[in-house]
Structure 1
């Protein structure tokens, strides 16, 4: 006897139910495999009280706990003590329960105690009846992205401060050129018996020179100081420099030097590099009032495309690294964050300008490198300078022009192009005092008109920062039209050349403002005799 109709229906229903159950089991298996296969995210379940009930391999990779170690423990284990004390974990669950989900970012702790920046999503899980049964939590490690954003923000901040600082220093250098130049002229002309007046002028000159030094520090931070880079063998420079500064440190501070033979050659302004290192040594000395060890080390670093993502100002390539490490008191996180800001200092009033580290920062950046600072209270400070390496074959010998004496009578004709009336007046009057024939111009257009009608000019002496056609553009035009005419630049700060600037223009010598009468004569004479 065959089956009844009802029995057939029941069997079909049972088969359908079994098929659905099997399908759900397969879906659950696939979902579990999917979650287990995700390694970039920590995905785990939390019960209504906040205890961990499941743990995927991604969670183990990011947080460091195995499932056996963490399941059953409260998820607040991953929060910092400060966040736990403020009740943040409980507030996050309460927000997710109320709104259905909670999103946030913050510092979290790994098993080994290290911190990472986490992006967090918590979803509330409810039964069909609406009862809260737990939470699903997804955490991503966003530390690298945060560091990149911080680096970019810091770079933009320093660039903005640098532009402002460079502009102020440029204007101040024009003023100092006039002040120093006229004081120098006055000192030359005062009778020897006017002792009181000569003493007053000398004191004013010394004060103006100190102001010029302060301006130079501002320009160094702004990456606008005129540099004279040339290939330098790094270990040889540091060896002689270390021997020099050894005598300037107290006996309670010992110096340790470690060389990497592969440090090779870097193209930098050697004098400015030594000045930057001296700033670091002074800071290290002040951080070790009771003595300690100063370590000066060279190393090499080959940075690839991934490496420079965290250092956006660097390009992939080979770098020499100078590490200056002290065993001093170290810096707090608050001081560390502002260490490179100009005029920021922790020293007492009158014992520091706050321009030391900012000057080093600007010099290294302007030299195509980068600076990294590591410090903790009680654990000393390490500063690493990254400077691009160059091949031995790139070494260029510096031109050594003959230095003329100021007593020699001159008859050459100088075309002076300067838009600042006071600077132009001082420069032209001084050159006439030395016997030169001088033609004045306020901008490049006027200078070109003069040259078109006067072929007896021996030297073009031009400011770089001119309105309209700038000094470099003027020089390029002059080199095309009058290739025999010598050119000398002057500037209160190093204005960045355009990508189209020719090598011949880049090689034109520069007299930095402020300059004295003697410096003006010497550089003019060198340019005429080259």
Structure 2
């Protein structure tokens, strides 16, 4: 609605809101005047006139009620303007014509009519002044007939009285006009103030939203920076820790080979190797948190893995929480990363523990399902086929729908500041999707919470992908081979030199990338490069391998890394991840040679 229309609507509202008072004053004055005229012997005219006044007053009062009840009145301004003006004009005409035709012969009665008409005009103008047409519609018909009647009397006094009525009518009209203009000006200022206030409120809301968005962005940036810093720290820890595990694992392999007939040595070295593998799994979990660890899927017996992992789950849950296992006996094997699977279940158990501060029961259950079937726990994004469902249920307070909708979002948490990162469920979902499955949450306020991890199952028990089938060929000495080893960690270099030397291969050792390039330029008999990705001296393993390829086209290379992210973009090289065994090292060397056209038993020497 335009400003002019709003002002017009306000003027009409002012008129109709006062109709009840206007009608009441009209009726009282009309009754009193009719009684005066009757006592002066004027019959039946006064009663006919009074009846018309009463009928019109009732009609106008009813029209006021209709106006208030009209929800669409702002769109029907012309209609209600006509109703207001016509009603006012009819009322003014009744008073004016009543004074003209019921004019008493005595001077006292005549002056009574004059004063009554003047009072009615003054009152009508003040009550209807907001809407000038309505005010004039009453004043002019009320005054004009009486002025004409007085003028027709012909006497000087009557002519003077008629002139006074005309002057009074003009003055009333002028005053009503001024009031109407002031009403419009005030209302215009009020509407302008309301509009500006609304604009200011809208600006403030937008500003608050932008501030909240800026704060959220700043928080997200801060969190991302913390995660990036954590990634760098974790990468350094993984590199150093994996160097230690590499030395331990490789040395244990060499010890077992040297003491093949000593059962005690074999038993102790096997236990130490198992501990080293557990250390590698811990490192893998740490790298998974930093999102720098690629998945290494394998065939896993879900039930057996959970049973093996149960003591750690119970320690993580605490004494106030009872961890129950409800494992189906016929659950199929899954194809997933075992370390990440354990990390996901541990995350879910910790979340369940936090949801029950006063203690309770956490149930870990397994069952078979069909991805893409009618099972409520599954999702259309998962791969079609058989699936293994692992569920973790708690007896906590449950989640409200608005919380449930955001539960898998990264950094979303209902815990107090500093009590949680909001990454646990996001990591679980990411692991499930990367494994070809899905994860869902079933929860309601007061009903606890059940998180289900859905993983693809193998087509049949004991089957596995082709690249996983069969045992690796045992490492045995082969044809002579010259290996250039670039490793800046002396302990790792010593273990690698010993491991490669056991294959009957000649090993040339460099402590930096620059030294390795110098050796490569002087020793044309080098047939393969084995290099750590991260080395001191300014030349990384990836840069070394590419420089060696330019110096000696076709030279195979094996890169050793603490985590896959270190060798990002170096897919053309064989990548060996720490920690590894002697067999892993030999297999990767042979694979690199085979990829460059040489057999594992007869590696051709490069010519100068």
Q: Tell me the TM-score normalized by structure 1.
A: 0.53
Residue number among 415, 419, 430 corresponding to 1:334 in the alignment: 415
Residue number among 334, 338, 344 corresponding to 1:280 in the alignment: 344
Task: Establish whether residue 213 from structure 1 lines up as the match of residue 375 from structure 2.
Answer: no
Q: 3-state DSSP class of the match of 1:510?
A: strand
Q: Post-superposition shift, 1:365? A: 11
Instruction: Assess if the C-alpha contact under 8 Å between 2:477 and 2:502 holds in 1.
Output: no
Per the alignment, residue 185 of structure 2 pairs with 23
Q: Post-superposition shift, 1:476? A: 2.3
| Alignment partners' CA distance in 2, 1:292 and 1:371 | 15
Per the alignment, residue 508 of structure 1 pairs with 573
| Alignment partners' CA distance in 2, 1:168 and 1:217 | 13
Q: Post-superposition shift, 1:413? A: 1.1
Spell out the pairing of 1:165-204 with structure 2 (5 A cutoff): 165-190=234-259, 192-193=261-262, 195-204=263-272
Cα deviation 1:293-348 (Å, max 9, x = unaligned):
779845467xxxxxxxxxxxxxxxxxxxx998644235893389745589xxxxxx
Q: Post-superposition shift, 1:206? A: 2.7
Q: Post-superposition shift, 1:462? A: 1.0
Instruction: Assess if the C-alpha contact under 8 Å between 1:417 and 1:461 holds in 2.
Output: yes
| Alignment partners' CA distance in 2, 1:331 and 1:29 | 51
Task: Establish whether residue 479 from structure 1 lines up as the match of residue 544 from structure 2.
Answer: no
Instruction: Assess if the C-alpha contact under 8 Å between 2:326 and 2:366 holds in 1.
Output: no
Residues 519 and 398 of structure 1, relative CA distance in 2, 3 Å threshold: closer
| Alignment partners' CA distance in 2, 1:19 and 1:254 | 87
Per the alignment, residue 224 of structure 1 pairs with 292
Number of paired residues?
372
Instruction: Assess if the C-alpha contact under 8 Å between 1:340 and 1:357 holds in 2.
Output: no
Cα deviation 1:65-107 (Å, max 9, x = unaligned):
xxxxxxxxxxxxxxxxxxxxxxxxxxxxxxxxxxxxxx9xxxx
Task: Note the aligned Cα RMSD (angstroms).
Answer: 5.6
Residues 199 and 290 of structure 1, relative CA distance in 2, 3 Å threshold: closer
| Alignment partners' CA distance in 1, 2:593 and 2:574 | 12
Per the alignment, residue 521 of structure 1 pairs with 586
| Alignment partners' CA distance in 2, 1:517 and 1:490 | 13
Point out where structure 2 has 5 or more consecutive residues left out of the alignment.
Answer: 1-162, 164-169, 311-323, 353-359, 370-376, 382-387, 399-413, 455-465, 596-608
Per the alignment, residue 432 of structure 1 pairs with 501
| Alignment partners' CA distance in 1, 2:197 and 2:514 | 71
Q: Which one has the bigger helix percentage?
A: 2
Residues 245 and 186 of structure 1, relative CA distance in 2, 3 Å threshold: closer
| Alignment partners' CA distance in 2, 1:399 and 1:290 | 35
Q: Which one has the bigger strand percentage?
A: 1
Q: 3-state DSSP class of the match of 2:565?
A: coil
Spell out the pairing of 1:232-243 with structure 2 (5 A cutoff): none
Instruction: Assess if the C-alpha contact under 8 Å between 2:288 and 2:340 holds in 1.
Output: no
Instruction: Assess if the C-alpha contact under 8 Å between 2:362 and 2:395 holds in 1.
Output: no
Instruction: Assess if the C-alpha contact under 8 Å between 1:413 and 1:436 holds in 2.
Output: yes
| Alignment partners' CA distance in 2, 1:152 and 1:383 | 31
Q: 3-state DSSP class of the match of 1:495?
A: helix
Moved more, 412-421 or 26-35: 26-35
Q: Post-superposition shift, 1:18? A: 5.6
Cα deviation 1:238-283 (Å, max 9, x = unaligned):
xx9889989999774689x9xxxxxxxxxxxx643x6534543466
Q: 3-state DSSP class of the match of 1:457?
A: coil
Which structure's CA Rg is the greater one?
Answer: 2
Residues 228 and 198 of structure 1, relative CA distance in 2, 3 Å threshold: closer
Point out where structure 1 has 5 or more consecutive residues left out of the alignment.
Answer: 2-7, 44-102, 104-118, 122-138, 258-269, 302-321, 343-355, 386-396
| Alignment partners' CA distance in 2, 1:300 and 1:447 | 52
| Alignment partners' CA distance in 2, 1:25 and 1:412 | 99
Per the alignment, residue 311 of structure 1 pairs with none
Per the alignment, residue 30 of structure 2 pairs with none
